[in-house]
Amino acid sequence: MVAANEEMAVYCFDTLVSHYTSELVPPPAFDEGQHPLFVTWKKVLNGGEPRLRGCIGTLEARGLFTGFKDYALTSALRDRRFPPIQAREIPYLQCTVSILTDYEPAANYLDWEVGKHGMILEFTDPDNTRRSATYLPEVAAQEGWTKIETIDSLMHKSGYMGVITENLRKRVRITRYQSTLFTMHYSEYAAYVKRARGAAPLIGAKSYH
């Protein structure tokens, strides 16, 4: 099984850095394959809690080379929940790459484990609108949510703002999945580049302000 790794995170940083420096993106140093994947950017300031800056991916299998390249930029620049990441923010970023595996239907809305399973939630709301949303496996654990809090949050994420009843929860369809992930901070990326390529990245804390 292919697992998320350091080289995939490096490739996402390379892609974002190259977007601002107009340098060519170095070729990926991992094997090609077809897998669902996500790229998550968070910003870390003064040792505080990482703050989400973008998270977008695909639940369908996608070529890893083009997938990570596309979603590194899409999640950084076109996540509608956040303003685009600016070049000056890059030294404060951490990147998490995720590869999704083990898709299976859940028996009901409680048939999953916090910290182990991600979920694709689908339901038809009382106005007969079909809705869906997903959370990666780490989200509920990071937020400290119970299963019901996670389900309710997912229903809101899908765009449903009405009352959530137990009857409505029982009508949702859950596809659960697992993932491997790798997280890298910019400082680790810069050290990797210097070690592997003999020079620091062109973008840094004093650049592109």
Q: pLDDT tens, position by position, for the chain (209 residues)?
A: 789 999 999 999 999 999 999 999 999 999 999 999 999 999 999 878 899 999 999 999 999 999 999 999 999 999 999 999 999 999 999 999 999 999 999 999 999 999 999 999 999 999 999 999 999 999 999 999 999 999 999 999 999 999 999 999 999 999 999 999 999 999 999 999 999 999 888 776 444 33
Element (H, E) at 149: helix 147-157
| Amino acid type, 106 | A
Domain-located, residue 206 = no
Q: Which of 150, 143, 142 shows the shortest CA–CA distance to 169?
A: 150
Q: What is the largest CA-CA distance in the chain?
A: 60
| Residues 129, 90 share a domain | no
d(CA 99, CA 14): 19
| Residues 142, 95 share a domain | no
| Residues 78, 118 share a domain | no
Domain-located, residue 207 = no
Q: Which two tokens stand for residue 162?
A: 């009405």
| Residues 146, 76 share a domain | no
| Residues 161, 58 share a domain | no
Domain housing 169:
102-177
What is the Cβ-side half-sphere exposure of residue 170, based on CA atoms within 13 angstroms? 3
Taken in order 156, 161, 163, 165, the sign of the CA dihedral is negative
Give residue-wise pLDDT tens across range 26-82.
999 999 999 999 999 999 998 788 999 999 999 999 999 999 999 999 999 999 999
| Residues 128, 72 share a domain | no
d(CA 64, CA 55): 16
| Residues 189, 88 share a domain | yes
Cβ-Cβ contacts under 8 Å for 184 (sequence gap 6 or more): 6, 9, 10, 13, 94, 95, 96, 192
d(CA 64, CA 36): 8
| Residues 186, 85 share a domain | yes
Question: Could you tell me the CA-to-CA distances from 179 to 27, 36, 123, 169 in Å, in that order?
Answer: 24, 10, 23, 25
* Structural domain total, the chain: 2
pLDDT recorded at residue 200: 83
